Amino acid sequence: MINKLDRRILAVILILVRSVSGTTGSGGDVPLRCDEYDSMGFMDVNEAFCTVTGFTVTHSQNIVIKNIPPGNMVKFMKFYESTLLYMPFHLFETFPHLKTLDVSNTNILELTRNAFSAASNLTYLNLAYNNLTSIQTSVFIGANVLMRLDLSYNDITTLSVNAFCGLHTISQIFLTGNRLKELHSDIFKDNEYLEKVSFEGNLLTTIQPEVFRNMRRIKEVNLSNNQLIYIHPDTFAEAASLENLVLSYNQLRNFQLTEKNIVHQLHLDNNHLTNLTINATRFVRASHNNISELILHQSLHIETLDLSANRLTSISNITNITYMLYLDVSDNPIGPLNVSTFAQLKRLRGLNLRGTGIRELKFGMFSKQKYLEELDLSFNNLTSLNLDMFVPYLTNLKKFLVDGNELWELQGNRSFSDTFPQLQKLGVSRNRFNCSYLHHLLIPPSLAESVVLNIEPDNNLEETPHIRDVSCISRSLESLNASFTAEESALESHIQRLSKQLEIVGSHSRNLELHLAFMQVFAYVLGGIVLVAAVTLVTLRYLKNQRSGRYDRSSIVFHSTATMDATMTLDSDQ
Ligand SMILES: *[C@@H]1O[C@H](CO)[C@@H](O)[C@H](O)[C@H]1NC(C)=O
Ligand SMILES: *[C@@H]1O[C@H](CO)[C@@H](O)[C@H](O)[C@H]1NC(C)=O
Ligand SMILES: *[C@@H]1O[C@H](CO)[C@@H](O)[C@H](O)[C@H]1NC(C)=O
Ligand SMILES: *[C@@H]1O[C@H](CO)[C@@H](O)[C@H](O)[C@H]1NC(C)=O
Ligand SMILES: *[C@@H]1O[C@H](CO)[C@@H](O)[C@H](O)[C@H]1NC(C)=O
Ligand SMILES: *[C@@H]1O[C@H](CO)[C@@H](O)[C@H](O)[C@H]1NC(C)=O
Ligand SMILES: *[C@@H]1O[C@H](CO)[C@@H](O)[C@H](O)[C@H]1NC(C)=O
Ligand SMILES: *[C@@H]1O[C@H](CO)[C@@H](O)[C@H](O)[C@H]1NC(C)=O
Ligand SMILES: *[C@@H]1O[C@H](CO)[C@@H](O)[C@H](O)[C@H]1NC(C)=O
Ligand SMILES: *[C@@H]1O[C@H](CO)[C@@H](O)[C@H](O)[C@H]1NC(C)=O
Ligand SMILES: *[C@@H]1O[C@H](CO)[C@@H](O)[C@H](O)[C@H]1NC(C)=O
Ligand SMILES: *[C@@H]1O[C@H](CO)[C@@H](O)[C@H](O)[C@H]1NC(C)=O
């Protein structure tokens, strides 16, 4: 009995579990609840919010919003670590007061028509970091008071000409990091209150001037990191107060707007400009171009000018801009400076002259820069530096860089600390100071320990001696080492030469021995031949004489007796 009951209970539980997992696992509705929910706003009704974490929908499921009272005042809603795929249905009907919706990074694939038809209080919509590939016609209809729309970092390749239809009050649209190749000239026809727009990091090659036609209020346009080759001079003709224009990292060869000025910031760095026209802009960045000519209008407004890595040979058009605060002309082939070159730049705070081919500094050159805080003179092949020339003018200097020159000592009678009482950063690396001298330069009282040292990276991987990480030349050691190794190598080569000679002599002697042996053999053979010849001759003569009888007989007799004697002695022995 008990067993049967148990089984029944188990079966019921199993069925329940199956049905529950069935609704959440495949197909059907998924309930959406707020994890953190403050329907009325704890302190302030404007702070009522709902956040959802770890909510995941698959392709075959629908989101159903549950247990939310109709009178809720939720104004802010955000999803964390969630996958939505589509905008939840009836979201704005459930939260009629929603002002801010953040559905960034939720794998949204597509925005369907009417998704925002009830979003009548929505002012900020964040759809960044999703998987949108296109924005269809009129999808935002209903979001009548939307102010800010962020569609950055999706995969958007097509924008319908009516994508932003109905957004009559919108002031900011961000499309950074998508894959747009072109913009329809009527894309913003409904958005005359647009103030800020970004297409940074797309694939745009041209912008038709009509795109910004109606935008009288546009203040900031960010088009950096595209492939723009041209901006029509009338592009911002209607804009009454264009403040910031960012065109960095494009392919522009020419840039000039007709009868227009950009008030705050103009960024044109990393293009292919050969000349630069500026009309009353406070901050201009135009580094990494090929600029050799500067055409300035209302130049007294210019405060910051970054022209580094260009081809300027003359800076005469900028050295009379008396209100300039920051000037960077580093890495330009400017060449020698005159004593009076900077005489009018009395307000300068920062001056970068790195890699400009200066070679020599003269007394009086920086005598008007009493507000100067940063001076970069690195990589200029300076062979001498007299700190006296900066006294008593550069008392506010905080950063002084002379790295990468040919300095081996300081002329004059002053240390860095004496010269620049406010110094915070000093660069003296990659010069020719010897170690004892550098030690004296970089240790108190010549230099306060609090001063940070700039170190320019050196490709030389060899270990070098250094003082406070600034490498130096250890003269005595180096020269000693050098002479040692020189002598050593000289000796070695001597020895080598000698041993070679010895080898040669050895081989010669071996040759000689061979010759000698050969000669010996030859001599023996010759001697033998001569002997044989002589004997034959004598024998022949004797025979001849015998035949003719001219020979003495006694000798033969004597011979014969000797032979006899010998036989006799032999006999007696036996
Ligand atoms: C929300 O929009 C409705 C109109 O759709 C309006 O009546 C209501 O006042 C709005 N609420 C807020 C808080 O703006
Ligand atoms: C969305 O894009 C991300 C990154 O490209 C990818 O990992 C993810 O799987 C995509 N999601 C869907 C639902 O396609
Ligand atoms: C350009 O826009 C992007 C975002 O859209 C922003 O992060 C970047 O800072 C902007 N650049 C400038 C110079 O304002
Ligand atoms: C410079 O800008 C002013 C508006 O501030 C404009 O009237 C003038 O025509 C511009 N000059 C040039 C040369 O574009
Ligand atoms: C500058 O011009 C040279 C040749 O005239 C070219 O090789 C180089 O790429 C150009 N640099 C830029 C930044 O346009
Ligand atoms: C600037 O350079 C461009 C391209 O080389 C050229 O078309 C333009 O006429 C130049 N502008 C001035 C004012 O010299
Ligand atoms: C200096 O400005 C004048 C007039 O604007 C211009 O003609 C000249 O080419 C400029 N020179 C340099 C080197 O930029
Ligand atoms: C600077 O000098 C140039 C000529 O080199 C002149 O056209 C320009 O008006 C001067 N600018 C100022 C602010 O004096
Ligand atoms: C130095 O003066 C000469 C002659 O006045 C001038 O041509 C040159 O442009 C000046 N150089 C600098 C860097 O100011
Ligand atoms: C500076 O010296 C380096 C090598 O010592 C040389 O390659 C470079 O051309 C010099 N620069 C100038 C502007 O003389
Ligand atoms: C060097 O400086 C010291 C004080 O710092 C001063 O007493 C001395 O007279 C100076 N010598 C010369 C040659 O200027
Ligand atoms: C180090 O350099 C200083 C300044 O040039 C010089 O007076 C000194 O003799 C040098 N010392 C050595 C050991 O070479």
Per-residue model confidence as pLDDT tens digits over 45-79: 667 788 889 888 888 778 888 777 777 888 899 99
pLDDT of residue 474: 77
Contact 236, 242 (CB under 8 A): yes
Residue 444 has pLDDT above 70, yes or no: yes
Structure tokens at 332: 């330009």
Q: What is the mean pLDDT of residues 183-195?
A: 94
Q: Residues 90-143: pLDDT tens digits?
A: 899 889 999 999 999 999 999 998 899 999 999 999 999 999 999 999 999 999
Between CA 171 and CA 252 the distance in angstroms is: 28
Ligand 9: centre distance to CA 360 (Å)? 15
The yes-or-no verdict on residue 505 having pLDDT over 80 is no
Averaged confidence pLDDT in the chain: 84
Encoded tokens for 50: 């709902």
pLDDT surpassing 80 at residue 484: no
Question: First vs last Cα of the chain: how many Å apart?
Answer: 149
Q: Which residue has the higher pLDDT, 263 or 24?
A: 263
| CA 337 – ligand 9 centroid, Å | 7
How many angstroms is it from 249 CA to the middle of ligand 5? 14
Specify whether the CB–CB gap between 228 and 201 falls below 8 A.
no
Q: Above 60 in pLDDT, residue 296? A: yes
Residue, of 370 and 568, whose pLDDT is higher: 370
pLDDT value of residue 69 = 76
Which pLDDT score, from 0 to 100, does residue 546 have? 59
Supply the pLDDT for residue 497: 76
Tell me what percent of the residues of the chain surpass a pLDDT of 70.
Answer: 79
Which one has a higher pLDDT value, 217 or 2? 217
Nearest residue by C-alpha to atom 11 in ligand 7: 293
**Quick one: tokens of 118?**
């009830």
Among all ligands shown, which has an atom nearest to the Cα of 295? 7
Distance 28 CA to ligand 2 centre (A): 23
Closest CA to 304 of 269, 271, 270, 338: 269
Provide the pLDDT for residue 543: 63
Rounded Cα–Cα distance for residues 302 and 457 (Å): 33
Give the residue-averaged pLDDT of 487-515. 69
User: Which structure tokens are listed for 475?
Assistant: 């003269």
Q: Report the pLDDT value the prediction gives residue 525, as an integer from 0 to 100.
A: 64
Reported as a pLDDT band with limits 50, 70 and 90, residue 559 is very low
CA of 493 to the centre of ligand 12 (A): 33
Percent pLDDT > 90 in the chain is 61
Q: Whose CA is nearest to atom 4 of ligand 10?
A: 381
Least confident of 123-132, 221-230, 231-240: 231-240
Provide mean pLDDT across the span 545-574.
42
Range of lowest pLDDT (99-103, 176-180, 567-571): 567-571
Under 8 Å CB-to-CB from 463, ≥6 apart: which residues?
none
Residue 569 binned pLDDT confidence (cut-offs 50, 70, 90):
very low
Question: Is-contact 96 121, C-beta < 8 A?
Answer: yes
The residues, ordered by sequence, that sit 6+ positions from 229 with a Cβ below 8 Å of its Cβ are 205, 206, 250, 251, 252, 253
**Rounded CA gap, 234 and 212, in Å?**
10
Which residue's CA is minimally distant from atom 4 of ligand 2?
A: 131
Cβ–ligand 2 distance for 413 under 6 Å, the answer: no
Task: Write out the H or E segment, with its range, that includes residue 295.
Answer: strand 293-297
Mean pLDDT on 148-157: 98
Say which ligand is closest to the CA of 312.
7
Counting ligands in written order, the one closest to the CA of 41 is: 1
| pLDDT at residue 185, as a whole number | 94
Residue that wins the pLDDT comparison between 331 and 527: 331
What are the E-state strand segments in 97-254?
Answer: 100-102, 124-126, 134-135, 148-150, 158-159, 172-174, 196-198, 206-207, 220-222, 230-231, 244-246
pLDDT at 65: 81
DSSP per-residue codes, 91-117: HHHHSTT--EEE-TTS------TTTTT
Q: Considering only the C-alpha atoms of the chain, give the largest distance between any 2 of them, rounded to a whole number of Å.
A: 174
User: What is the tens place of the pLDDT at every residue in 334-381?
Assistant: 999 999 999 999 999 999 999 999 999 999 999 999 999 999 999 999
Identity of the residue numbered 310: N
The H or E element that residue 78 is part of is strand 76-80
Q: What is the pTM of this model?
A: 0.80
